[in-house]
Structure 1
Amino acid sequence: MRENVAVVVVTYHSDQVLPGLLDSLEPAMAGLSWQLTIADNSADPGALAALRRMAPTARIVDLGRNAGYAAGINAAVAASGAYTAILVLNPDIRLAPRCGPELLAVLRRTGAGIAVPRLERADGSAIASLRREPTLLRALGDAVLGGHRAGRLAVGELVLGDEAYRSESRADWASGAAMLISAECWRRCGPWDETFFLYAEETEFALRARDAGLATVLAPAARAVHLEGESKRSPRLWTLLTLNRIRLYRRRHRLGAVLAYWAAVLLREAIRAARGNPASRAAVAALLRPSRLREAPGPPAG
């Protein structure tokens, strides 16, 4: 069967970072048949015109509003031509040469539903991009020990340790900044859940795929640089990320477990807030307001 990869990117005023991704695509996808589709959330004619100049051969989907990351992915996939796999990319990703073929080889060899590259920072240091399923005990581990210490002890959500990133490791989910999804996985588990405007959408999709027997696997020879966003520094984005953790957990568990998980997440953010973290202070305030825990598909305020 001839492989044909739909490369999908969601943009939102991404003109500063997108050119680097576009420059990396050709060497990254060497030997593969692929087409690029970009879904733009900017709702700005000027931004859309700039996008068309930057990527003249790409299919451009104008969502006409800031509809969110999951909605952008779904729209881009729907507008793509025939495909055997879908490569989802953030605009601030830079793919290493032959990243695409490496991802595809692991996807086919393992029978996984999702293959992800080894993510690195611009300075070459590794990013811990693999995750365990959110559970109450892991939330407590993250709260009491801190995310990295809990991850090193395998009692937190983060998967840490060099060995996990040197082999074709399986994880419950992984960063959605760069992931190759098989057409079969998309057929059985897609589209992405658009009620998550930003954050937790890749978690929900990967857990749904895992429940269907379609694993997420790291392809260690596939490399990509992720410039990373501002979620850990921005109070409004960290608040949205934190609230979406609760919303996702609520989808999969009974009320008693959800209340306990909420308390564990609140404890974690309260500890960080007491140490002077402004993003966690904003998250604590939101966690203590029941109205903020309802489904909120719109963009974060501010």
Structure 2
Amino acid sequence: MVTYNSEAHIVDLLDSIPAAMGDLNYSVVVVDNGSSDGTLGVLDSRDDCTVVRSINSGYAAGMNRAVAASPAAEAILILNPDATLDAHMTPIMLDVLRRPGIGVVAPRTREADGRLSPTLRRGPTLGRVGGLSFTGWPVFTERIEQRQAYAAERPVDWATGAVLLVSARCYAQLDGMDESYFLYSEETDFSLRAKDAGWLTVYTPDAGAMHVGGGSGESATTHTMKSLNRIRLYRRRTGTFRASVYYGLTVLIELRRAVLGHDKSWPTLRALLRPSLRPPLLKAGESILPR
């Protein structure tokens, strides 16, 4: 796992791990990306995890560092620090992962109040750029919200990365997560690249976890990163022309949101239109279309 100012959540996650692992042999490695709260104090007080101190070089870089610091294993359980795991969930996920051709397994995830968390996603397309979930039409909707879609095991394009079990062979074949995204879209990119290489991402309802969400907070900067990285991912997968259309649609969507009162959309809109205002950590280039 990778922590960043995760003091409020990390204890609950660490305490849930032993029961979640059942009889499996495992190690716990935590990379801290430069927390300024009490996260490191909490981690240093425990004897059930290895702590790697790091500068904040991004989530993907932190996860790659955690995997590199881990003993050789059959599988990698990727965890957000604001998740907690149900008992015996990892052996269930591992049974699914051991089937031929499966590279990533996602569990059934719930919110803190027990409601289903809609973690499954369809791949990005021009039609889905607006996130028009209210239509219920797959052609316009990346997020899968229908409850019946979570009732049975199924392959998916990708799933949000709060809790994912990944084949170590798959992770190594893809050279880990793409560190250029810094934050957001890294799990999307990973599952889509895995699919390109012949590895499936599979959802199972038989393993469960809870995810608080937003454990490190959200700001205008992180909202901007999310928008820019979606464009970058789409460009890398489809080319400049289609990505230019995707970019234009994103600008219109952020303008609409800003006019409707979403305060984080104004800084995002400015960063979309003025490359000099983009978070330098992304290294998205100086052209109007993010690289």
Asked if TM exceeds 0.5, the reply is yes
User: Counterpart of 1:23?
Assistant: 15
Change (3 A) 1:12 1:232: closer
Change (3 A) 1:104 1:230: closer
Contact 1:39 1:60 in 2 (8 A): yes
User: Counterpart of 1:268?
Assistant: 253
Gaps of 5+ in 2: 284-291
- Separation in 2 of the partners of 1:231 and 1:133? 26
Correspondence 1:153 to 2:144 = no
Contact 2:155 2:200 in 1 (8 A): yes
Correspondence 1:182 to 2:134 = no
Q: How does 1:129-168 map to 2 (within 5 A)?
A: 129-140=119-130, 142=131, 146=132, 148-150=133-135, 152-155=136-139, 156-168=141-153
Correspondence 1:91 to 2:76 = no
Contact 1:115 1:216 in 2 (8 A): yes
**Deviation by residue 1:255-286 (Cα, 9 ceiling, x = unmatched):** 11111000111122222111101122222121
Amino acid at match of 1:58: C
Contact 2:82 2:212 in 1 (8 A): yes
Residue among 205, 220, 225 paired with 1:220: 205
Amino acid at match of 1:22: L
Q: SS at the partner of 1:124?
A: coil
Contact 2:21 2:87 in 1 (8 A): yes
Cα shift at 1:169: 1.7
User: Counterpart of 2:101?
Assistant: 111
Contact 1:93 1:225 in 2 (8 A): yes
Correspondence 1:207 to 2:192 = yes
Contact 1:43 1:62 in 2 (8 A): no
Contact 1:231 1:237 in 2 (8 A): no
- Separation in 1 of the partners of 2:60 and 2:25? 25
- Separation in 2 of the partners of 1:234 and 1:223? 29
Q: How does 1:207-286 map to 2 (within 5 A)?
A: 207-229=192-214, 234-286=219-271
Q: SS at the partner of 2:138?
A: coil
User: Counterpart of 2:286?
Assistant: none
- Separation in 2 of the partners of 1:273 and 1:22? 39
Cα shift at 1:190: 2.7
User: Counterpart of 1:5?
Assistant: none
Q: SS at the partner of 2:207?
A: strand
- Separation in 2 of the partners of 1:114 and 1:182? 6
- Separation in 2 of the partners of 1:223 and 1:205? 22
Q: SS at the partner of 1:82?
A: coil
**Deviation by residue 1:1-53 (Cα, 9 ceiling, x = unmatched):** xxxxxxxx101121211000011111111121111011111266974343111
Q: Which moved more, 1:259-268 or 1:281-290?
A: 281-290
Amino acid at match of 2:14: L
- Separation in 2 of the partners of 1:121 and 1:221? 17
Q: SS at the partner of 1:123?
A: coil
Q: SS at the partner of 1:113?
A: strand
Change (3 A) 1:292 1:244: farther
Using the aligned pairs only, state the percent identity: 43
Q: How does 1:67-86 map to 2 (within 5 A)?
A: 67-86=57-76
Q: SS at the partner of 1:278?
A: coil
**Deviation by residue 1:63-105 (Cα, 9 ceiling, x = unmatched):** 1x11111111001100101200000000000111111111111
Amino acid at match of 2:126: L
Cα shift at 1:193: 0.9
Q: SS at the partner of 2:108?
A: strand
- Give the TM-score normalised by structure 2: 0.90
Correspondence 1:192 to 2:177 = yes
- Runs (4+) of structure 1 exceeding 6 A deviation are none
Count of equivalent residues: 282
Amino acid at match of 1:66: N
Q: SS at the partner of 2:72?
A: coil
**Deviation by residue 1:160-207 (Cα, 9 ceiling, x = unmatched):** 212211111211111011100011211211311111111011111111
Gaps of 5+ in 1: 1-8
User: Counterpart of 1:6?
Assistant: none
- Separation in 2 of the partners of 1:239 and 1:25? 33
